[in-house]
């Protein structure tokens, strides 16, 4: 892709756990004069490490990755390297994901499936200090900003942990949760252990009570 004019030389770190996605993004961005992909990451922890190491202009990051998710990675990156512009590229466009990304400090949010030129413009836009939102996300952001919102329950939980807790509160067992979220049963157990620790509860029943009091599981 060479139709867009060259601009300021930009460096980018790609973070996505799917090799095909990373390969496609690298091919796209590397074909544009003025953009260099300096590193790739397969999970959130690598995303933080590679970004802190290379200090790119832009971190292009997915939300759902093994270990540290994209939201947590964004927070850590911006604590260590606040000059980096974080651009989320994901399949998720629900309110919680969008709000969590914004609160973590992401400067842009676009959906996988966006056009090639839209992705390139988004990379350049966030690097230039703009707030960039894809067409399917922009109207949602405007609605969220216009609507007063109460604080989200359990802010210490990750997006995935909150999803698991919501299903626990709905009365689902670990095996069903694993199938519904496409996770390994062991991963669900690990999430639940982390939830218990963060909520300071000792068992599932206590976690369900806390979750339902906060409006989850309905």
CATH number for 159-214: choose from 2.60.40.1120, 1.10.10.10, 1.20.1290.10, 3.40.50.1820. Answer: 1.10.10.10
Neighbours of 190 (CB within 10 A): 14
Residue 13, sorted as left (phi over 0), alpha (psi -120 to 50) or beta, turns out to be beta
pLDDT at residue 153 in the model: 80
Q: Tell me: pLDDT of 217 over 60.
A: yes
Short-list 108, 106, 104, CA closest to 122: 108
29/125 Cα distance (integer angstroms): 14
Mean of the per-residue pLDDT values for the chain? 87
5 token code pair:
């004019």
Using an 8 Å Cβ cutoff, are 177 and 164 in contact?
A: yes
Task: List Cβ neighbours of 45 (8 Å cut-off, separation of 6 or more).
Answer: 67, 68, 73
Short-list 69, 97, 101, CA closest to 87: 101
CATH number for 10-146: choose from 3.30.1370.60, 3.40.50.2300, 1.20.200.10, 3.30.70.260. Answer: 3.40.50.2300
Residues of the chain with CATH 3.40.50.2300: 10-146
Q: Tell me: pLDDT of 86 over 80.
A: yes
pLDDT at residue 1 in the model: 47
pLDDT at residue 147 in the model: 56
Short-list 135, 165, 59, 145, CA closest to 99: 145
State if pTM tops 0.85.
no
pLDDT at residue 141 in the model: 66
Burial of 156 (0-12, 13-18, 19+ CB in 10 A): exposed
What distances in angstroms separate CA 20 from CA 7, 15, 64, one per listed residue?
A: 27, 12, 15
Size of the chain, expressed as the number of residues it contains: 218
């Amino acid at each position: 892709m060479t139709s867009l004019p060259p601009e300021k030389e930009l460096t980018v770190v790609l973070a996505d756990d799917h090799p095909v996605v990373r390969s496609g993004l690298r091919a796209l961005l590397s074909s544009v004069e003025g953009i260099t992909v300096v590193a790739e990451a397969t999970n959130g922890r690598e995303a933080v490490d590679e970004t802190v190491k290379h200090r790119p202009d832009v971190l292009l990051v997915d939300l759902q990755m093994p270990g540290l998710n994209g939201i947590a990675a964004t927070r850590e990156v911006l604590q260590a390297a606040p000059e980096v512009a974080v651009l989320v590229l994901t399949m998720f466009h629900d309110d919680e994901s969008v709000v969590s990304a914004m609160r973590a400090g992401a400067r842009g949010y676009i959906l996988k499936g966006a056009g090639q030129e839209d992705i390139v413009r988004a990379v350049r836009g966030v690097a230039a200090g703009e707030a960039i939102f894809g067409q399917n996300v922009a109207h949602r952001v405007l609605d969220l900003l216009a609507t007063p919102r109460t604080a989200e329950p359990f802010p210490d939980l990750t997006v995935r942990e909150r999803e698991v807790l919501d299903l626990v509160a709905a009365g689902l067992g670990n095996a069903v949760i694993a199938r519904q979220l496409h996770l390994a049963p062991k991963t669900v157990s690990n999430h639940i252990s982390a939830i218990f620790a963060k909520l300071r509860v000792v068992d599932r029943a206590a976690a369900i009570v806390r979750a339902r009091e906060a409006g989850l599981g309905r």
